[in-house]
C-alpha cells in the first residue's frame, strides 16, 4: 500500500489509480465525508470484490460517485449529461438540489436506468448518486471518466475511516489495495441521503451535515422525514448506513443523558473497571463519587455540531485502540444539526462490543 501522502497527489499516482479501477481493482480514496473503497460501477466482478473485501451483505446497496463537469462553475454547471446515464428521469427538484449542493455531502436516490447493474443497487429499482467535493476524489473521477461505487473503506459495520492511515490499518495484509492519501476528511460523517425516486416528494433516508432546513432555505424543496405524510403501501429504498447496527467500535459504547453519568455507570452490565467518558467542552469535570471500583478518564468533545461530527470517528477509533472497558458519550442535543451524529452514535451503540460482528447483518 502506498504510505507517502505526497506522491499520492501526483499525476502518475492518479494515473495508476485510474488504471487500477479500469482493470477491476479497488482504490481507497478520500472524500469530504469519509474515505471510500472504490470500484468501477460498470464492472460486476469489481463490485463483488467490494462486498467480499468489506464483508458487506450483497443486498446492501452502494452509492455511485460521479465527477463534476471539467469546467465546473456552480452557477452554470449542467448536471444532466453527468447523471442521465444512471437515472430514468430527472425532476426539477433534483436539478435544484444538484445545483445547490453538488459537489458536496448530499446523495440523491433515483429510479435507475436499465443499464445500472443490479449488483450495486442491492437488486432494487433505485440508484443512489453523489458528486464528492474532495479535490482528490474529483480528480480521480474526472480522469476515470465513469462512475465509481465507494462505500466507506472499512470492514462492514465498523467505524468509518477518516484518514488514509485508518484505511491501511483496517485492511492490513490486503497487498493489492491502493490507498490515495488526501489528508483527514473535513465533514467526518457520511453524506445526507434524500430519496427522489417516488417522483412526488423528497424523503430523508439518512441524516448528515446537510439538513432538511438547509435544503429548504437554499432551494425551497421540502424534505419529508421517513414516515411523514406517507400513503399506505409506500416503500422506501434501502440505502447505505441504514442498518440498526453500524459504525461500531469493538469496545462497548453507550450514551448518557445530561447529568446522568453515574446512572450510566450503574446501568450498563458491560461496565468493568476502565471507562472513558466524553464531556462537553462547556462543562467542568463531572465527578464520579460512589464508584471507587471504576477508573474513569474524561475527554472533551465539542459542543459545536460540525466540529463534533468531524472528529467523531477519529475519537471512536482512537478510544477503541486504548483498551477501555466502556466508552460513554453524552446524548447529542435536540435539533436537525445534530441528527447526523445522533444517528451514527445510536447505530454505533447498538453494534458495539466484542460481539459486534454478530450484529452486522441485523
Q: How far is CA 84 from CA 78, 87, 270, in A?
A: 11, 5, 51
Structural domain spans, the chain: 7-225, 253-359
Q: Are strands 63-65 and 148-149 parallel, antiparallel or unpaired?
A: antiparallel
Q: What are phi and psi of 26, to 5 degrees?
A: -110, 140
User: Nine-digit cell at 226?
Assistant: 421517513
What would the pLDDT profile of 113-144 be if each residue is shown by its tens digit? Answer: 999 999 999 999 999 999 999 999 999 999 99
Q: What is the pLDDT of residues 16-40, one digit of tens each?
A: 999 999 999 999 999 999 999 999 9
Task: Decide: 316 and 348 in contact? Cβ < 8 Å.
Answer: yes
Overall fold of domain 253-359: Rossmann fold (3.40.50)
Average pLDDT of the chain, as a whole number:
88
Confidence of residue 2 (pLDDT cuts 50, 70, 90): very low
Mention every residue, 6+ apart, whose C-beta is less than 8 A from residue 184.
162, 163, 314
- Parallel, antiparallel, or unpaired: how do β-strands 295-301 and 274-280 relate? parallel
Task: Give pLDDT, residue 228.
Answer: 67
Nearest 5°: CA angle at 329, between 323 and 334? 160
Query: Quick one: pLDDT band at residue 321, thresholds 50, 70, 90?
Result: very high
Q: What is the pLDDT of residue 72?
A: 52
Q: Are 247 and 156 in contact (CB under 8 A)?
A: no
Length of the chain: 362
Query: Are 348 and 253 spatial neighbours (Cβ–Cβ below 8 Å)?
Result: yes
pTM as predicted? 0.91
| Beta bridge partner(s), residue 327 | 253, 276
Instruction: Fill in the DSSP letter of residue 187.
Output: S
Assigned CATH for 7-225: 3.90.870.10
Q: How many CB atoms lie within 10 A of CB 301?
A: 18
Quote the pLDDT of residue 199. Answer: 84
Amino acid at each position: 500500500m502506498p504510505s507517502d501522502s505526497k506522491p499520492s497527489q501526483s499525476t502518475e499516482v492518479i494515473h495508476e489509480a485510474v488504471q487500477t479501477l479500469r482493470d477491476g481493482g479497488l482504490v481507497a480514496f478520500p472524500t469530504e465525508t469519509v474515505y471510500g473503497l472504490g470500484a468501477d460501477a460498470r464492472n460486476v466482478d469489481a463490485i463483488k470484490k467490494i462486498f467480499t473485501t468489506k464483508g458487506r451483505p450483497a443486498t446492501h446497496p452502494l452509492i455511485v460517485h460521479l465527477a463534476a463537469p471539467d469546467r465546473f462553475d456552480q452557477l452554470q454547471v449542467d448536471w444532466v449529461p453527468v447523471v442521465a446515464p444512471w437515472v430514468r428521469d430527472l425532476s426539477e427538484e433534483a436539478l435544484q438540489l444538484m445545483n445547490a449542493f453538488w459537489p458536496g455531502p448530499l446523495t440523491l436516490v433515483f429510479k435507475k436506468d436499465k443499464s445500472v447493474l443490479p449488483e450495486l443497487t442491492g437488486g432494487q429499482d433505485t440508484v443512489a448518486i453523489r458528486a464528492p467535493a474532495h479535490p482528490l476524489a474529483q480528480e480521480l473521477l474526472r480522469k476515470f471518466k465513469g462512475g465509481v461505487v465507494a462505500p466507506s473503506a472499512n470492514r462492514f459495520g465498523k467505524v468509518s475511516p477518516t484518514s488514509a492511515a485508518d484505511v491501511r490499518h483496517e485492511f492490513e495484509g490486503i497487498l493489492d489495495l491502493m490507498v490515495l492519501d488526501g489528508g483527514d476528511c473535513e465533514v467526518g460523517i457520511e453524506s445526507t441521503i434524500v430519496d427522489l425516486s417516488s417522483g412526488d416528494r423528497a424523503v430523508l433516508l439518512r441524516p448528515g451535515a446537510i439538513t432538511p432546513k438547509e435544503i429548504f432555505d437554499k432551494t425551497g424543496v421540502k424534505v419529508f422525514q421517513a414516515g411523514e405524510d406517507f400513503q399506505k403501501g409506500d416503500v422506501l429504498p434501502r440505502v447505505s448506513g441504514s442498518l440498526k447496527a453500524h459504525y461500531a467500535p469493538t469496545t462497548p459504547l453507550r450514551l448518557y443523558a445530561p447529568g446522568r453519568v453515574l446512572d450510566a455507570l450503574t446501568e450498563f452490565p458491560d461496565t468493568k473497571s476502565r471507562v472513558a467518558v466524553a464531556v462537553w467542552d462547556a462543562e467542568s469535570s463531572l465527578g464520579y463519587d460512589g464508584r471507587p471500583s471504576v477508573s474513569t478518564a474524561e475527554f472533551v468533545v465539542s459542543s459545536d455540531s460540525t466540529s463534533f461530527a468531524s472528529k467523531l470517528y477519529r475519537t471512536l477509533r482512537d478510544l477503541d485502540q486504548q483498551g477501555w472497558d466502556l466508552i460513554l458519550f453524552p446524548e447529542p442535543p435536540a435539533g436537525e444539526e445534530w441528527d447526523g451524529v445522533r444517528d451514527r452514535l445510536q447505530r454505533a451503540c447498538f453494534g458495539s462490543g466484542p460481539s459486534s460482528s454478530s450484529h452486522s447483518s441485523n
